[in-house]
Every structure is written in C-alpha cells, then in structure tokens.
Amino acid sequence: MPARNNKQNIIIIFSITLLAVMGVASLTPAFPTIARHFRLNMDEIGLLITAFTIPGIFMAPLMGILADRLGRKAVLIPSLVLFGLAGAACAHTNNFNTLLILRVFQGLGAASLGSLNITIIGDLFEGNRRTTIMGYNASVLSIGTAFYPAIGGALALINWKFIFYLPLLAIPIAIWALTTLPTPRPENGQTVKSYFNSLWKIVNQPYVWALFSMNIFVFIILYGAYLTFLPSFLETKFQSDSFEIGIIMSIMSITTAITATQLGRISKLFNKKQILSTSSIAYILALALLAFSSKITMVIIAVIIYGFGQGLFIPTIQTLLAGIASVRERASIMSINSMVLRIGQSMGPVVMALFYIEEKFFFVFMAASAIALGILIINNIFMRFKTK
C-alpha cells in the first residue's frame, strides 16, 4: 500500500474513532444542566447513556456478521449517516422521552463504529505495526474524550442542545470513507454454518472470555463511576461548573493519549499480561484516591493515574482481540467485543447507582475500585498462557 494512501487511510480510521466516542464524551459535562432542564435526578440522567449504548448490545454482533459477509463499507457508511442525522435530531426536542428515543437511534448508528475501526486496523496492519497503530488509535480516542468534555461543557454554558449538532460531522466522513477507504472484502467461500462454527471455536476459549469479562468491568467503571458520577461529584463537593468539569475530565484523557502513543515501545519491554496488570493496579489506586479526595489536587492526581491505566488497557485488549481471528471472522469478533463494551456501558450507571448510598460518592468510587481488583484477578488467572 503506498505511503500516501496508508496515511490517508489512517486519518479516516482515526476520524471514525473520534465519532465513536463523541456520543457520550461530549455530553456528560452537561449532565447537571440537562438534569435541571428536565427536572431529573442522578438515576434518571444516566438513561441518556443507557439509551445510547443499549442498541450496541443487540445489534453489534449482527453488524459484525454483515461486515464479514458483505464487506466493511456496507455497514460503515449507513452507520455513519444514521449516527449524524439522529444525533442532530436530538437538538430539536424538549421532551425527555423523545430525547431518549432519538438517543436509541443514534446509538444504533454508533453500534458498529467502535468495532469497525479496530477491525480495519486489523485488516490493514500486522505485528508490532498493528500494536503501534492500535496505540495511536487509542490515543486519538483519548484526545477525543479529552476535548469533547471541554467542548461539550463550553457549549452547555450557551445551550446544551448545541452539543447534538456535533454528530453531523459524520456525514462528510461517510462520503470520504465511501470514496477513498480501501477496506478489503473478505473471501467468503465458507458456508454460513462453517462460518459460525469457526467463529464459535474462536470465542469459546477461557482466554477470550477473560478478555471480554475484563472489558465489561472496565466499562462499568468508566461509564458508571467516572463519566456518570464524577461530574456530579465535582459540582457537589467542589462547586465546579460544566466547563471546569470538562477540563478536569480532559486531564484523564490527555494522560491516556500520551500513554497510548508509547504502547508500541512498551510492548517491546513487557508482555501483555504485565501491561494489563499494571493498568489494573492504576485503576484500583485512582478510584480509591477519588473516594478519599478532599482537595481538587487529589482529584487531578487520581484522574492522571486513571488515564495512565486506561492508556495501557484499551489498546492492549484491542490488539489481543484483533489477533485471535482471521480477516474472515475479525469483524464479528470485534463486534462481539463491541457488544460486550455496550453491556458494560449500559450497566455502568445502573450498577454504580446502587452504591450511591445516602448520596455519598465515597461508596461509588470504592465499589469501582473493588471492580478494578476483579480485573487484576481475572488477568492473573486467565492470561498466564498469553504473554507475548
């Protein structure tokens, strides 16, 4: 592949990655403002995340199968268009139930984006180059999650509805990908039965189930304790406004971005099990520190540690999953992982709300720290045979 085309393909992939995280990251700093507008409590405002993520639970595996059987673009382009149009439509309602319905449609469009970008990286790159691109992709994702909260928080100071016009950027990216991105169409000499048999053999391994389980836990923490409860924690305890909340949350993402760009080098020094163990310990420490934070400086230190763990964990898991399947099953494997992530995202606000006892954030962050301990245990039990 010519170098120029290679760079252009990477830019398109990274653009899709930025869209994949836009639907939540840009919105969470505005949660306190939206909650006041619709007169909602903390349990109800989390539905804006749940409504967005639930379609991915049911549709992501189907999207992966279609991408394997019909080609990547057959799924990617309609998904981008739906994501953009449904997102913009959210700006034109003052009814919370209607907003939730539109978020479901937007989530349907987003259901395949976070898996197809990883699938295409797996299609186009191999070996340490794949690991390096995965790291940079995670860095781009983190840059998005760093800047989107700041952008969303700034827009919310004017009008929270303006945030929902951001997804319209998906339309030009869809046109660019349609006309430029050379996604390979897998050879499908397999019958449908043999395809599913091959897919099941890949999935039905303790090692793969361990990867999926760790991903669920990480996203329960991220979308529950971090994205849902941290903004309200900052507003309640430190009287931070939406813009300040966005800036503080962006610090985590910037740390993640810096860490992820170094994953290619780190992977040459440490094996995947060691990297995942280190990230798990970082999660445990960061969340425990948040639970005991009495000063804003303690919060900032905690989110930096959290970002370090995130920068190691996400691209490492993605690299491992992309490497367990051939091009014929890769989209399905990554889509199953996307379904797993959506389960974690959807469960996060609900599970963490169970620990919001007497309106104290301490129990939320300590429960999240305990979940991170579970990730460390799973990694050390099931990853001992996969250390390369």
Mean pLDDT of 142-147: 76
**Predicted confidence (pLDDT) at residue 4 exceeds the cutoff of 70:** no
**Predicted confidence (pLDDT) at residue 131 exceeds the cutoff of 70:** yes
Query: In this structure, is residue 279 part of a structural domain?
Result: yes
Count of domains forming the chain: 1
Mean pLDDT of 382-388: 58
Number of Cα atoms under 13 Å in the Cβ half of residue 12: 27
Do residues 90 and 102 make contact, with C-beta atoms less than 8 angstroms apart?
Answer: yes
Mean pLDDT of 23-28: 83
User: What is the per-residue pLDDT for 303?
Assistant: 94
Mean pLDDT score of the chain, rounded to an integer? Answer: 85
**Predicted confidence (pLDDT) at residue 145 exceeds the cutoff of 80:** no
Burial, 357: exposed, middle or buried (Cβ in 10 Å; 0-12, 13-18, 19+)? exposed
User: What is the per-residue pLDDT for 384?
Assistant: 63
Query: In this structure, is residue 201 part of a structural domain?
Result: yes
Query: In this structure, is residue 225 part of a structural domain?
Result: yes
**Predicted confidence (pLDDT) at residue 6 exceeds the cutoff of 80:** no
Mean pLDDT of 196-220: 86
Mean pLDDT of 270-285: 92
Query: In this structure, is residue 14 part of a structural domain?
Result: yes
**Predicted confidence (pLDDT) at residue 295 exceeds the cutoff of 50:** yes
Confidence label for 343 from pLDDT (cuts 50, 70 and 90): confident
Query: In this structure, is residue 388 part of a structural domain?
Result: no
HEC string of the chain equals CCHHHHHHHHHHHHHHHHHHHHHHHCCHHHHHHHHHHHCCCHHHHCHHHHHHHHHHHHHHHHHHHHHHHHCCHHHHHHHHHHHHHHHHHHHHCCCHHHHHHHHHHHHHHHCCHHHHHHHHHHHHCCHHHHHHHHHHHHHHHHHHHHHHHHHHHHHHHHCHHHHHHHHHHHHHHHHHHHHHCCCCCCCCCCCHHHHHHHHHHHHCCHHHHHHHHHHHHHHHHHHHHHHHHHHHHHHHHHCCCHHHHHHHHHHHHHHHHHHHHCHHHHHHHCCHHHHHHHHHHHHHHHHHHHHCCCCHHHHHHHHHHHHHHHHHHHHHHHHHHHCCCCCCCHHHHHHHHHHHHHHHHHHHHHHHHCCCHHHCHHHHHHHHHHHHHHHHHHHHHHCCCCCC
User: What is the per-residue pLDDT for 330?
Assistant: 79
Q: What percent of the chain has pLDDT over 90?
A: 29
| Residues 99-128: b if buried by 16+ CB within 10 A, e if exposed | bbbbbbbbbbbbbbbbbbbbbbbbbbbeee
262 against 69, higher pLDDT? 262
**Predicted confidence (pLDDT) at residue 247 exceeds the cutoff of 50:** yes
Residue 41 is part of which domain span?
3-382
373 against 160, higher pLDDT? 373
Query: In this structure, is residue 365 part of a structural domain?
Result: yes
Do residues 151 and 26 make contact, with C-beta atoms less than 8 angstroms apart?
Answer: yes
Q: Which tokens is 13 given?
A: 């992939």
Query: In this structure, is residue 63 part of a structural domain?
Result: yes
- Greatest mean pLDDT among 80-89, 181-190, 328-337 lies in 80-89
User: What is the per-residue pLDDT for 187?
Assistant: 61
**Predicted confidence (pLDDT) at residue 338 exceeds the cutoff of 90:** no
Q: Which residue in this structure is represented by tokens 């937007």?
A: 106
- Greatest mean pLDDT among 143-152, 230-239, 271-280, 368-377 lies in 368-377
Query: In this structure, is residue 70 part of a structural domain?
Result: yes
**Predicted confidence (pLDDT) at residue 230 exceeds the cutoff of 80:** yes
∠ Cα 209 349 34 (to 5°): 145
Mean pLDDT of 72-92: 92
Confidence label for 3 from pLDDT (cuts 50, 70 and 90): very low
233 against 122, higher pLDDT? 233
24 closest CA partner among 233, 155, 167, 177: 167
281 against 186, higher pLDDT? 281
Give the distance, in angstroms, between the CA of residue 29 and the centroid of all CA atoms in the same chain: 17
User: What is the per-residue pLDDT for 5?
Assistant: 62
Confidence label for 218 from pLDDT (cuts 50, 70 and 90): very high
DSSP at 95: -
Its pTM stands at 0.73
**Predicted confidence (pLDDT) at residue 221 exceeds the cutoff of 80:** yes
Q: What is the number of H-type helices and E-type strands within the chain?
A: 18, 0
235 closest CA partner among 351, 46, 361: 361
371 against 191, higher pLDDT? 371
Confidence label for 269 from pLDDT (cuts 50, 70 and 90): confident
CATH number of domain containing 184: 1.20.1250.20
HEC string of 248-294 equals HHHHHHHHHHHHHHCHHHHHHHCCHHHHHHHHHHHHHHHHHHHHCCC
Mean pLDDT of 208-222: 91
User: What is the per-residue pLDDT for 345?
Assistant: 78
User: What is the per-residue pLDDT for 305?
Assistant: 95
User: What is the per-residue pLDDT for 254?
Assistant: 85
